[in-house]
Chains A and B, each alone.
Chain A
Amino acid sequence: MRLVGRIYAALFSLFLLAPIIAIAGGSLTTTNYVAFPPRGLTLHWYLQILQQRESLTALGLSLAIGAAAATLATLLALPVGLAFTRYRTRLNGVVYAVIMTPAMLPSVFLGLAFLVLYTPMGIGATPIGLLAGHVMIATPFALSLILVGLASLDGTLEHAARSLGASPFRAFLLITLPQISWSLAAGWAFAFMISFGSLEISLFLSTSTLVTLPVQIFMALEWSPLDPALTAISSGLAIITLVVLVVTARFVNLERFLKRA
């Protein structure tokens, strides 16, 4: 019975990973159209990306926006998480609803809403607008991981530090912050990946010169879906995701996800 379950889980995992494996495999083909399983092995297509200015610019923009959005999201989520754990009030529920809903609302709805107001605000087709949109959808993920970290924190530690002579700020810096650093890191990583992979928000807020990598791939899919260079970029994206995820898992016990609910 247990064995059957494991075999099923393995098959299901294969199903989940199949498209990513196909992308990574297809990018190694020597043919000049995408073939999976690949015919022969070459890194030619990866080298070719280096000559594609557009793809490099898009990758650079995605990385920059992702890092900036994740950092801002973490900085916004940390004080909110602290307020929630320190002060029990019904107002927390209202604030929580405001900050968590971007993760639940249709992203096309959000993208359109951002476009329609950011344009008259003067940040419609600018990196600032794009960043603002990404911060909104990344913060819920940062907040939920930071809340997991704060929930597992022993509140008496801060009391102990205070009784030993630490000011509130020093107690936070020396005691609380090191205790929740893993959840800050995980929150940052998840916020980064959400921003890095986001398509819909970017579609609405991008222009012909301001293009993130997912948008570029999505646009390219329309005319040349069988271009192996495209698979190389895509698998590059998947590899970055996998690395961030594995590194996060190395430092964070992912099982805490189950404790959240």
Chain B
Amino acid sequence: MTDHLAVDGLELSFGTHQVLNRVTFSIAEGERLCLLGPSGCGKTTTLQVIAGFIQAQTGSVTVAGRPIDHLPPEKRNIGIMFQNYALFPHMTIFDNVAFGLRMRRLPAADVEQRVGEALRLVRLAHAAQKSPRQLSGGEQQRIAFARAVAIRPSLLLLDEPFSNLDARLRIEMRDELLHLLRPLKIATLMVTHDQEEAMAIADRVAVMRAGRIEQIGTPQAVYSQPANLFVAHFVGESNVLDGTVLEGSAAGTRLEAPGLGSLNARASGGLRRNDQVTVLVRPERISLLPAGAAGREPGWNYVPATLDEVVFLGHRTECRLLAGARRLTAWQAGGTIEALRLGDPVIAAWRHDDTLVVPQGAT
């Protein structure tokens, strides 16, 4: 696959505040990339630079091999779905979707045909003559999508597409959008602060912090192999422990975690004896065994603990454990721990491969 959008070394600062710090990434044809990060991390600014509303101080943006930095927004042929949808309130739905086509001076018959196509795509052909105010939030979003793709853009930008919807509708629209995007095979850049949205929609996720891209990879890779503590925290939840390396090799890492004894972790290059590291374990990877359970399998870490608190959340149960002075959280599906009571001794068990090691200092 060739790079369709190439963003290279964008830098932007206001005074001493660096908004973008060498932001570099690319999107292949038909690929969906998501910029994920907390508010103020520069992800929306990146989107605005690509759209042409903000000029970066250095760096370049290339679409299909052609630099577009010097082009005004209207010449870039980039479809944008705005966070608040930005539907023109004084126009009908039809006129909204037709706007971009009319700006391109298409003949009226073509405009009508392509608006019809776009509206059928989002299943709102019947609403053509309504005003945006008469539509629900979800419908408005579909119109915003139809308007953005009706111009057959070379790139689609989605700015926090679900932030204006309530929780239930959000999941519904997420599936809907994915369903709409897949057949279009259009290079898409989405910006969000919600890791679930990012992982659901994107082929690849780029995690941003303070104007920098911390890690780019498939959702699976970012989740299971976070490059640092920030990424691990931002994408999913983790138990965070301190540790000292006892032995590191290509087969795995052996380390000492205060209060938990020695643990085995996944191999991690460049670690030497006595290095201080941070150990991460995802809560859903931890299983609970009754204290007396016999049998130790190879490839597993076993840590004795007591059950301190149990929180039932419907689809899962959160168990807070005390292992010495350390706190651990383990997620159990359904009611598997019904037999246990608060204060009972248990054994927390997880695979060596589910134990991630991040060098300390790489925050």
Using a CB–CB cutoff of 8 Å, the interface residues on chain A facing chain B are 154, 156-157, 159-168, 170-171, 174-175, 178-179
Contact = CB atoms under 8 A, between A and B. Distances in A.
Contacts, number: 63
A170 B86 contact: no
Given A160-B88, A165-B103, 8 more contacts: A157-B86, A159-B73, A160-B80, A162-B52, A163-B73, A165-B75, A175-B88, A179-B90
The majority secondary structure among interface residues of chain A is helix
Interface string B57-89: 000000000000000111111111011101011
B300 interface: no
Contacts of B73: 159, 162-163
Interface of B: 51-53, 72-80, 82-84, 86, 88-90, 99-100, 103-104, 147-148, 151
Contacts of B72: 162, 167-168
A160 B74 contact: no
19 contacts: A154-B84, A156-B82, A156-B83, A156-B84, A157-B88, A159-B53, A159-B73, A159-B82, A159-B86, A160-B86, A160-B147, A161-B88, A161-B99, A161-B103, A163-B51, A163-B80, A164-B100, A167-B72, A174-B99
A178 B95 CA distance: 14
Contacts of B74: 162-168, 171
Nearest to A156: B86
Contact of B103 (A164, A168, A179): A164
Nearest to A164: B100
A13 to B, nearest CB: 34
A220 B73 CA distance: 62
B82 A160 contact: yes
A164 B147 contact: yes
Contacts of B89: 179
For A159, A168, A178, which residue has the most chain B Cβ atoms within 10 angstroms? Answer: A159
Contacts of B104: 165
A165 B86 contact: no
Nearest to B159: A156
A248 B151 CA distance: 39
A141 B36 CA distance: 46
A169 to B, nearest CB: 10
B103 A163 contact: no
A8 B51 CA distance: 57
A174 B79 CA distance: 19
Nearest to B78: A163
Most chain B beta-carbon neighbours within 10 Å: one of A154, A159, A165: A165
B100 A165 contact: yes
Contacts of B78: 163
A162 B72 CA distance: 8
A160 B103 CA distance: 12
A48 to B, nearest CB: 47
A163 B90 contact: no
Nearest to A160: B86
A166 to B, nearest CB: 5
